Homo-oligomer: A and B are copies of this chain.
Amino acid sequence: MQKSAQLSESLEDYLEVILGLERENKVARAKDIAQKLGIQPGSVTGGLKSLVEKNLINYEPYSFITLTAEGARIAKTITRRHRVLKDFLLKVLQLDEDTAEAAACRMEHAVDELSVERLVDFVEYLFECPRTGDAWIQAFVDYTRSGKKSWEKCAACLDDCRDRHQENRGVPHS
């Protein structure tokens, strides 16, 4: 199990869509990979050969494609990065579906594992902490939409926040 000699963005994309196709159809086919990546089928063969050399997929010419254990491991971490980033863009920054998807798609190759972990922790904390959570996010959304920076309603907001916390005291999170 050699140290995975870091992949190009392109090869990471191949692994990600192969994982998706495996989940959809049990196996991946070159045509579907091309279609999902928005490239020509002729371009796929070369990528597959690279992945075979790196022992990340099981594949022989004219046959279908599956991930090796190592390939699946990598594909899952990339897919997770994508999911975490999109979640943040969508739920916290409140970007629309298309913008979030596009940005996540390009960011997933740029962030290291530590940063992803930290982002997961942050988003989780943000949603679970009584001082923030859905209500706070909603306040941020309202603020973003209205464009005003007034903290007028803060006292009420904080009281409300505290009341909610007391109601839920001791109730564990799902």
Contact = CB atoms under 8 A, between A and B. Distances in A.
Given A110-B107, A112-B103, A115-B99, A92 B122 contact: yes
**How many copies of this kind of chain does the complex include?**
2
A130 B165 CA distance: 17
B106 A110 contact: yes
Given A95-B118, A112-B103, A161-B158, A136 B131 contact: yes
B144 A118 contact: yes
Interface string A115-156: 100110110010011111000100110011000010100110
Summarize A's interface: helix, strand, loop or mixed.
helix
A110 B115 contact: no
Given A95-B115, A99-B114, A136 B129 contact: yes
Interface residues of A, number: 44
A108 to B, nearest CB: 8
A159 B125 CA distance: 19
Contacts of A110: 103, 106-107, 109-110
A37 interface: no
Interface string A155-174: 10111011001100100010
Interface of A: 89, 92-95, 99, 102-103, 106-107, 109-112, 114-115, 118-119, 121-122, 125, 128-132, 136, 139-140, 143-144, 149, 151, 154-155, 157-159, 161-162, 165-166, 169, 173
18 contacts: A89-B115, A92-B122, A93-B115, A103-B115, A106-B109, A107-B110, A110-B110, A129-B139, A130-B154, A131-B157, A132-B136, A149-B173, A155-B162, A155-B166, A155-B169, A158-B158, A158-B162, A159-B162
